[in-house]
């Protein structure tokens, strides 16, 4: 059994457990309502016994079938309205007795008409790249928690804007990117700037917004991605399913966030594999966000003309500068510098 099939089987079991849990929770809520409002129970019983039984009874009385049907519909409408009225009066939301799915699109089955739902594709990515901790980070690091006051508003020599003004502009451009993500597919961003100037925070903001909109996001460091791709390359043929799995998820996710470009640079194989990934995504019009401490000059000097001209030509540059925010934040929170 290949690793990717094992992962899929494990995740589908989790979906199954999730649905069972939701069904139990629904039953608990239903019993609670029945105990408090016995009339709701009587209504549900009548609705359940409706259809053939009720229709048969009407017809037995020698009624016109069309009239019988109309009367049944009226009775059903009355029962539904009465039930809603009872629930509302008791302070329950109208969907209180329904199943509450985590993903209403696939009703927590992972599939929509035999196609993998986005929630399943994202879970596969999270599993394969140990991304499960990402959600926790994103609860804190998102646009709603963006604190512009952390950025210096003092002019910096050689820059026309203060770091705060620069960040204000970058934020606006990020919002434009997010708004046009579906209408303009294949937009690529290059975040360039020193450590601690807000790149990772802004990457997280983008990941959070797109995940919330139902897109699949793979957030991986260049180092980890190269290690995975190299491992795949050297794996024997019997592990080939795992091989396609990594390449496929890297190629198919709606947004690839490639963090810390430059830290992986140690041999030519990495560069080739990386270039191939980035190129494939460009060809299939899928967005990539590259974040790096390198300047454009560093990229050119490290990866050569071919790679850098491709990046410069197809990526929109977001330049970060200013003092190290991580140090500043720790200082504000009373920690040691
Ligand atoms: Zn789903």
CA atoms within 13 A on the CB side of 84: 8
Query: pLDDT tens digits for 197-251?
Result: 999 989 999 998 998 888 999 998 888 888 877 777 766 555 544 546 677 788 8
**What is the whole-number distance in angstroms between the Cα of residue 123 and the centre of ligand 1?**
10
Distance from residue 250's CA to the centre of ligand 1 (Å):
20
- Percent of the chain exceeding pLDDT 90 equals 45
Give the least confident one: 175-184, 260-269, 296-305: 260-269
Ligand 1 centroid, distance to 119 Cα (angstroms) = 4
Nearest to 123 by CA among 102, 99, 100, 137: 102
Report how far ligand 1's centroid is from the alpha carbon of 245 (Å).
20
Which residues, by Cβ under 5 Å, contact ligand 1, an ion? 103, 105-106, 117, 119
Nearest to 251 by CA among 290, 281, 285, 288: 281
Q: Which two tokens stand for residue 62?
A: 């020698």
Q: Cβ distance 109 to 15 under 8 Å?
A: yes
Q: What is the CA(15)–ligand 1 centre distance, in A? A: 10
Q: Which residues are CB-neighbours of 246 under 8 A, at least 6 positions away?
A: 128, 228, 229, 232
Cα 300 from Cα 313, distance rounded (Å)? 13
Please give the distance, rounded to the nearest whole angstrom, from the Cα atom of residue 104 to the centre of ligand 1: 7
Q: What do you get for the CA distance between the two ends of the chain, in Å?
A: 50
pLDDT of residue 317: 95
The per-residue pLDDT for 72 is 82
Tell how far the Cα of 215 is from the centroid of ligand 1, in angstroms. 11
Cα–ligand 1 centroid distance for 99 (angstroms)? 15
Report CA(118)–ligand 1 centroid distance (Å). 6
Neighbour count for residue 166 (Cβ, 10 Å) = 23
Higher pLDDT, 252 or 194: 194
Residue range 13-69, pLDDT digits in tens: 999 999 999 999 999 999 999 999 999 999 999 888 876 666 666 666 666 777 777
Q: Tell me how far the alpha carbon of residue 116 lies from the centroid of ligand 1, in angstroms.
A: 8
What domains sit in the chain, N to C, each tagged with a CATH number?
3-89 (no CATH), 129-332 (3.40.50.300)
More confident residue, 34 or 305: 34
CA angle 63, 66, 69 (to 5 degrees): 90
Q: Residue 324 has what DSSP assignment?
A: -
Q: Which of the residue ranges 50-64, 137-151, 249-263 would you say has the lowest mean pLDDT?
A: 50-64
Q: How far is the CA of 214 from the centre of ligand 1 (A)?
A: 9
pTM exceeds 0.75, yes or no: no
State pLDDT tens for residues 66-122: 777 788 889 889 999 999 999 999 999 999 999 999 999 999 999 998 888 989 988
Dist. CA 102 → ligand 1 center (Å): 8
């Amino acid at each position: 059994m290949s690793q990717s099939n094992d992962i899929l089987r494990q995740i589908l079991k989790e979906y199954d457990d999730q649905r069972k849990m939701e069904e139990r929770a629904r039953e608990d809520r239903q019993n609670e309502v029945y105990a408090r409002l016995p009339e709701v129970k009587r209504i549900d019983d009548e609705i359940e016994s409706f259809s053939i039984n009720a229709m048969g009874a009407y017809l037995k009385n020698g009624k016109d079938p069309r009239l019988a049907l109309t009367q049944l519909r009226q009775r059903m409408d009355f029962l539904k309205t009465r039930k809603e009225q009872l629930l509302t009066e008791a302070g329950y939301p109208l969907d209180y007795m329904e199943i509450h799915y985590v993903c209403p699109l696939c009703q927590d089955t992972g599939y929509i008409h035999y196609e993998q739902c986005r929630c399943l594709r994202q879970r596969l990515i999270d599993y394969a790249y140990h991304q499960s901790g990402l959600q926790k980070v994103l609860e804190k690091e998102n646009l709603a928690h963006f604190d512009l006051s952390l950025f210096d508003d003092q002019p910096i020599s050689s820059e026309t804007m203060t770091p705060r003004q620069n960040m204000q502009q970058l934020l606006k451009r990020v919002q434009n990117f997010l708004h046009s993500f579906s209408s303009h597919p294949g937009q690529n961003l290059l975040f360039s700037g020193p450590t601690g100037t807000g790149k990772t925070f802004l990457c997280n903001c983008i990941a959070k917004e797109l995940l919330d909109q139902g897109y699949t996001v793979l957030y991986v460091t260049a180092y980890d991605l190269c290690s995975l791709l190299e491992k795949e390359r050297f794996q024997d043929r019997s592990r080939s399913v795992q091989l396609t799995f990594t390449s496929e998820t890297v190629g198919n996710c709606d947004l690839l966030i490639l963090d810390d470009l430059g830290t992986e640079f140690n041999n030519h194989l990495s560069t080739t594999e990386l270039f191939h990934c980035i190129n494939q995504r460009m060809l299939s019009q899928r967005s990539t966000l590259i974040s790096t401490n390198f300047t454009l000059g560093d990229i050119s000097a490290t990866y050569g003309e071919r790679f850098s001209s491709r990046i410069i030509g197809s990526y929109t540059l977001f330049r970060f500068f200013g003092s190290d925010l991580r140090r500043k934040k720790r200082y504000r929170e009373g920690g040691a510098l």
